[in-house]
Amino acid sequence: MAPGSMSGDGRSAGYAVLLVAYGSPRGLDEVEPYLNDVRGGRPTTREIVVELQRRYAAIGGRSPLLERTETQAAALGRALGGPPVYVGMRHWHPYVGDVMARMRGAGQQRVVALPLAPHFSGLSIGAYRRAIEAGRGQLEVAMVPEWFDHPGFLDAVADRVREGLARFEPDRRETVALVFTAHSLPQRILADQDPYPTQLQASVAGVLERVGRTEARLAYQSAGQSPEPWLRPDAADVLRELASAGARDILVCPIGFVSDHLEVLYDVDIELRGVASGLGIRLERTGSLNDHPTFIASLAALVRESARRAGWA
């Protein structure tokens, strides 16, 4: 499916669907302009550009985020059986605003917008909402703001955790330490009573209940390169704490992410795994949700519910 294209024919649909993700460069030559976009036009130091290019090179030269999101859109289109599903990105091509213009040009009038991030924060979902508002024009938009506690999402994550635990020897699975991770955000969100940390904790609790475990750690990863403090504990620090307490097997579940991209393929699979190796720890990671059938079914349920609430179905 071509970037910004849609899945589904829309013949019987009273609305379309817009999946929104963060965006990522499609090659090393796009890293610098991508960073400038993320930084709101502020120039990026050469040192930061080179470092990010190195990280993308380590995972094959580009992020699979766009392809993974388009695969999710195609699966969602099949699950919905009618509404066309479009893909838009906040910080790179295909931009949300450009895709919404295409939707208007295709005759769409109503849109269910679904950010592919389960946990609400004013700095993440709030920014998606602003991008959607800026690009909507005359489109009627019903937005799904959060879905951290949706049963289908939690069921799919629990399934990935079970699969991850099954990689360990049967007599060691009960002692495998579980570490759930999410993207760190600046600590200033706490002053605004941002629900992000609380929603993450609720998601972890829901998954633990499903897999029959009572203990896990929630840690943050991928903190930005800025002088202000970011949410903690850092995932690498948690690994060190667990190692000092005697843990030798750890399963990391990036619960804040729903597809493969740099924060998973580099920050966990390379960087965090390197920390674990240095500590003498075996680290495994749960598979990303990507187009897990239960996950896609949960997205379809969220879309249908939003359409019903808007009076469109």
Do 142 and 13 lie in one domain? The reply is yes
- How many domains is the chain partitioned into structurally? 2
Please report whether residue 1 resides in a domain: no
Residue 43 confidence class, pLDDT cut points 50, 70, 90:
confident
pLDDT at res. 145 = 87
Please report whether residue 135 resides in a domain: yes
Token look-up 């699969």 returns 163
Taking the C-alpha atoms of residue 294 and residue 300, their distance in angstroms, rounded to an integer, is 10
Do 52 and 115 lie in one domain? The reply is yes
- What sign results for the dihedral spanned by CA atoms 244, 206, 157, 114? negative
Do 66 and 86 lie in one domain? The reply is yes
Please report whether residue 240 resides in a domain: yes
pLDDT of 311 over the 60 cut: yes
Residue 8 confidence class, pLDDT cut points 50, 70, 90:
very low
Task: Pinpoint the alpha helices (H) of the chain.
Answer: 31-38, 46-58, 65-80, 96-105, 125-135, 151-165, 196-211, 235-244, 262-265, 273-278, 293-309
Span 244-268, average pLDDT: 98
Please report whether residue 239 resides in a domain: yes
Span 26-32, average pLDDT: 96
Question: Which residues, at least 6 apart from 248, have a Cβ–Cβ distance to it below 8 Å?
Answer: 280, 281, 282
Please report whether residue 54 resides in a domain: yes
Comparing 146-155, 165-174, 221-230, the range with the smallest average pLDDT is 221-230
Mean pLDDT over each residue of the chain, to the nearest integer: 95
Domain carrying residue 194:
151-285
pLDDT of 258 over the 90 cut: yes
Do 10 and 131 lie in one domain? The reply is yes
What percentage of residues in the chain have a pLDDT greater than 70? 96
- For residue 248, CA distances in Å to 115, 252, 259 come to 36, 13, 27
Do 156 and 274 lie in one domain? The reply is yes
pLDDT of 7 over the 80 cut: no
Please report whether residue 254 resides in a domain: yes
Taking the C-alpha atoms of residue 129 and residue 112, their distance in angstroms, rounded to an integer, is 12
Do 142 and 178 lie in one domain? The reply is no
Residue 61, φ and ψ in degrees, nearest 5: 95, -10
Do 10 and 143 lie in one domain? The reply is yes
Do 266 and 299 lie in one domain? The reply is no
pLDDT of 9 over the 70 cut: no
Do 158 and 52 lie in one domain? The reply is no
pTM over 0.85: yes
Do 19 and 141 lie in one domain? The reply is yes
What percentage of residues in the chain have a pLDDT greater than 90? 92
Do 92 and 161 lie in one domain? The reply is no
Please report whether residue 234 resides in a domain: yes
Token look-up 């099954």 returns 166
pLDDT at res. 1 = 41
Please report whether residue 223 resides in a domain: yes
CATH code assigned at 232: 3.40.50.1400
pLDDT tens by residue, 56-109: 999 999 999 999 999 999 999 999 999 999 999 999 999 999 999 999 999 999
